[in-house]
Amino acid sequence: FKAPPKEWIEFRLERFQETLNKNTKASALALKELLGTIELEPVKDDCVVENGHLIESKPYYLAHSNIATLALLDEKHKGTNWYLLRRR
């Protein structure tokens, strides 16, 4: 797979932004087509011990769609722990 040129992507995003700004119905349909089915995955992390105290994390939902959001990160952020964990 070879990514399209950056200029092409920027042009397409500008046109997409124009569509989103103009018409609510067209915006909803465009987002539906772009995102596809959105599935929510309930996540409950384990408790963490921090400074001798047991800290219970809050449960949350992880959304899955057609967009690989980590692919949108700038190169400077691709070394972060979150990026590395999500790539596994």
Contacts 24+ apart (CB under 8 A), 37-43: 37/65, 38/63, 38/64, 38/65, 39/63, 39/64, 39/65, 40/64
Same domain, 56 and 17: no
Helix (H) or strand (E) holding 22: helix 6-22
Question: What's residue 5's pLDDT?
Answer: 82
Q: Which pLDDT band, with edges at 50, 70 and 90, does 74 fall under? A: low
Q: Which pLDDT band, with edges at 50, 70 and 90, does 31 fall under? A: confident
Count up the domains in the chain and report the number.
2
Same domain, 20 and 63: no
Predicted confidence (pLDDT) at residue 76 exceeds the cutoff of 80: no
The whole domain housing 16 covers: 1-35
What's this model's pTM, rounded to 2 decimal places? 0.43
Predicted confidence (pLDDT) at residue 42 exceeds the cutoff of 80: yes
